[in-house]
């Protein structure tokens, strides 16, 4: 479908059910749609726990949310059917989203997930994604001739930074969590990095959600004068607090994309994942650190709960001293 064809429509629904980063990466595409067709009404459907990702997005008219275990219910379909959409853009493109589009019986454009290419890369190290663009660009390809701008992710907070930031400077944020083990820089490495930074007169701030609270508390206990701001998945507060930092150090995680939206200098440490999958910081000042000497990377396109080779050198070979040096260089580079 082209922009000219889309311009004949008045109302569309975009579906991206999960997860945090994937939803945030839709926002450059949604912004481009609104810029190029201002009259177009864009609604969106996401899972309830990700409501904050689009809560204050001015380019989205109606936001629909649902509970994960109650996905395809008659009430949801009834509400969406009443809107009489001209088009559905399915950026999830899985069984669940296909059930919704089938029930709505509306013309649908779907995101190409490059599943076969990811399978070849993970299992046979055949890289057909070498020149593949980042995910926002791939999302945009559902409309063949749309043009993205050079801005980053849209995530808007109406919250003030936490009170602990009063009269504080030289703050460095850590996001040590990730859903899967092979995407997590080791806890002891984050601790050592924090001590190096503390000795250099920087103060560490820990960010994370519900599943990261224990990890953040353990690291905070080991780093002098560090501040633990992990919370109950209050995404907009986390965003406001991230903006107070000179730089952030993240794993390949949902909070990496929140950090991208904060427009703060960012270092991301990649373990089992690779840039070719497309989920890299988008249009922000960032540096990706990874061990490119390993033939076993990537071992998964989403992450694993253990290192299949039992050495975990994709992370362990990236020393805290190396990250420290790269971070100081990034901060110093105006």
pLDDT digits (tens, 9 = 90+) for 40-80: 999 999 999 999 999 999 999 999 998 776 656 678 899 99
In whole angstroms, what is the distance from residue 261 CA to residue 257 CA?
Answer: 6
In whole angstroms, what is the distance from residue 41 CA to residue 34 CA?
Answer: 8
Contact in structure between 27 and 56 (CB atoms under 8 Å): no
User: Once rounded to an integer, what is the mean pLDDT over residues 15-34?
Assistant: 97
Among candidates 41, 94, 54, which has minimal Cα distance to 72? 94
Fold for the domain defined by 163-332: Rossmann fold (3.40.50)
Average pLDDT, the chain: 96
Give yes or no for a cis peptide into 104 (omega within 30° of 0).
no
Residues 164-214: tens digit of each pLDDT? 998 888 999 999 999 999 999 999 999 999 999 999 999 999 999 999 999
**Crossing angle of helices 187-199/213-222, nearest 10°?**
40
Asked whether residue 283 carries a pLDDT value surpassing 70, the answer given is yes
Cβ within 8 Å of residue 230, ≥6 positions away:
206, 207, 208, 209, 212, 213, 216, 217
pLDDT of residue 186: 98
Asked whether residue 21 carries a pLDDT value surpassing 90, the answer given is yes
In whole angstroms, what is the distance from residue 15 CA to residue 110 CA?
Answer: 10
In whole angstroms, what is the distance from residue 70 CA to residue 64 CA?
Answer: 14
Asked whether residue 333 carries a pLDDT value surpassing 90, the answer given is no
Tell me what percent of the residues of the chain surpass a pLDDT of 70.
98
Instruction: Using the structure block, give the residue that is written with the tokens 């939206």.
Output: 261
C-alpha distances in angstroms, 14 versus 109, 115, 131, 256? 10, 21, 27, 23
In a 3-state reduction of DSSP, which class is residue 283? coil
C-alpha distances in angstroms, 6 versus 15, 47, 111, 140, 279? 17, 26, 16, 13, 27
In whole angstroms, what is the distance from residue 89 CA to residue 189 CA?
Answer: 42
- Extents of the domains making up the chain: 3-140, 163-332
Do 3-140 and 163-332 agree at the fold level?
yes
Which residues in 146-274 belong to E strands, given as ranges?
171-175, 203-206, 227-228, 247-251, 265-269
Total residues found in the chain within this entry: 334
Match domain 3-140 to its CATH number in 1.10.4080.10, 3.60.15.10, 3.40.50.2000, 3.40.605.10.
Answer: 3.40.50.2000
Instruction: Using the structure block, give the residue that is written with the tokens 């059910």.
Output: 17
pLDDT of residue 136: 98
User: Once rounded to an integer, what is the mean pLDDT over residues 85-103?
Assistant: 95
User: Once rounded to an integer, what is the mean pLDDT over residues 10-23?
Assistant: 97
pLDDT of residue 72: 61
The mean-pLDDT minimum among 76-80, 125-129, 201-205, 258-262 falls in 76-80
The mean-pLDDT minimum among 69-73, 98-102, 277-281 falls in 69-73
Cβ within 8 Å of residue 179, ≥6 positions away:
211, 253, 254, 303
The reported pTM is 0.96
Contact in structure between 240 and 259 (CB atoms under 8 Å): no
pLDDT of residue 114: 96
In whole angstroms, what is the distance from residue 2 CA to residue 209 CA?
Answer: 39
């Amino acid at each position: 479908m082209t922009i000219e064809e889309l311009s004949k429509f008045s109302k569309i629904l975009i579906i991206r059910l999960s997860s945090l980063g994937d939803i945030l990466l839709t926002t450059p595409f949604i912004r481009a749609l609104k810029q190029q067709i201002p009259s177009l009404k864009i609604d969106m459907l996401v899972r309830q726990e990700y409501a904050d990702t689009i809560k204050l997005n001015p380019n989205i008219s109606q936001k629909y949310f649902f509970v994960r275990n109650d996905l395809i219910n008659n009430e949801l379909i009834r509400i969406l059917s009443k809107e009489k959409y001209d088009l559905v853009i399915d950026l999830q493109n899985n069984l669940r989203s296909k059930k919704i589009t089938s029930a709505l019986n509306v013309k649908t454009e779907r995101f190409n997930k490059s599943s076969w290419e990811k399978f070849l890369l993970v299992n046979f190290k055949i890289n057909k994604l070498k020149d593949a663009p980042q995910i926002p660009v791939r999302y945009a390809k559902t409309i063949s001739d749309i043009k993205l701008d050079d801005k980053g992710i849209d995530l808007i907070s109406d919250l003030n930074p936490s009170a602990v930031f009063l009269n504080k400077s030289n703050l460095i944020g850590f996001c040590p969590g990730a859903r899967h083990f092979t995407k997590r820089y080791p806890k002891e490495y984050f601790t050592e990095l924090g001590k190096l930074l503390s000795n250099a007169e920087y103060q560490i701030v820990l960010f994370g959600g519900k599943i990261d609270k224990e990890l953040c508390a353990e690291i905070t206990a080991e780093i002098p004068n560090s501040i633990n701001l992990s919370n109950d998945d209050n995404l907009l507060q986390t965003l406001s607090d991230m903006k107070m930092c000179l730089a952030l150090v993240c794993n390949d995680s949902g909070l990496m994309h929140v950090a991208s939206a904060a427009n703060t200098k960012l270092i991301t440490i990649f373990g089992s994942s690779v840039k070719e999958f497309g989920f890299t910081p988008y249009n922000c000042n960032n540096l990706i650190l990874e061990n490119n000497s390993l033939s076993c990377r990537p071992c998964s396109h989403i992450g694993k709960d253990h290192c299949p080779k039992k050495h975990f050198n994709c992370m362990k070979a990236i020393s805290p001293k190396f990250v420290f040096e790269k971070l100081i260089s990034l901060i110093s580079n105006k």
